[in-house]
Structure 1
Amino acid sequence: MKIKLFLSALMLMVGTLTATYASFPVQRTTSNNTNTTVVVENQEDELSSPAIAGDGKSQIIALVLVALVGGLGIHRFYLGYTWQGVVQLLTLGGCGVWSLIDLIRIITGNLQPKNGSYSKTL
């Protein structure tokens, strides 16, 4: 029963991640009353994720996440390291060792967000 529950949760997580990151550019067409069709190609702001389009990440929030739910790797998802987050989720943060290392790295400022630096620091 536990294996079925674990596999169900894993499939739900994989399905959610796949649906989230399966976006691709779409050409949109609009038509005016004069029967002309205009193809709109560059509307990336509608297709991009709000998390990626954010101003920056807070070191304090990353520290709180690693302290509270570090074994689940939620802080890695927050910082933009999706695959490391998945691995930490599956291994429960390397039985806590990886989470402890990440806690130290976030406190020292060594673990930065994937797309830049923190907007708010300690």
Structure 2
Amino acid sequence: MTATATVGQKPMIVTALLCFFLGVLGVHRFYVGKVGTGILQIVTFGGFFGIWPLIDFIMILIGKFTDKQGQPLAR
């Protein structure tokens, strides 16, 4: 038997583009269902002007960013 990991429904490329262009507004977090942290990103202007979206962008690119259910994004 082989163990297969479940993968979320949200594509990685869409999430990465949303993070790159609208990361300060937390749009990528709303997209994957993380509404609470999306609101925090809006209120803090992306974690004090872009630190948080930069970290998220790197996490998305290396495949460590997950959706609300904890599933990795679809490649």
In structure 1, the residue matched to 2:52 is: 98
Higher relative contact order (CA 8 A, sep 6+): 2
Count of equivalent residues: 66
Scaled by the length of structure 2, what TM-score is found?
A: 0.81
Aligned alpha-carbon RMSD (Å): 1.3
- Residues of 2 paired with 1:117 and 1:63: CA distance? 13
Query: 1:118 & 1:99 partners in 2: Cα distance?
Result: 17
Other-structure match for 1:112: 66
Match of 2:3 in 1: none
- Percentage of matched positions with identical amino acids: 38
Q: 60, 66, 75: which is aligned to 2:13?
A: 60
1:118 shift after superposition: 2.1
Q: Distance in 2 between matches of 1:67 and 1:76?
A: 12
Q: CA deviation at 1:66?
A: 0.3
1:1-122 map, 5 Å: 56-94=9-47, 95-115=49-69, 116-119=71-74, 121=75
Please list every run of at least 4 consecutive aligned residues from structure 1 whose deviation after the TM superposition is greater than 3 angstroms: none
Could you tell me how far apart the structure 2 residues matched to 1:70 and 1:117 are?
19
The DSSP-based 3-state class of the residue aligned with 2:21 is helix
Structure number with higher strand proportion: 1
Deviations 1:19-73 (A, max 9, x none): xxxxxxxxxxxxxxxxxxxxxxxxxxxxxxxxxxxx7100000000000000000
The Cα shift of 1:117 comes to 2.7
| Amino acid of the structure 2 residue aligned with 1:117 | P
Bigger radius of gyration? 1
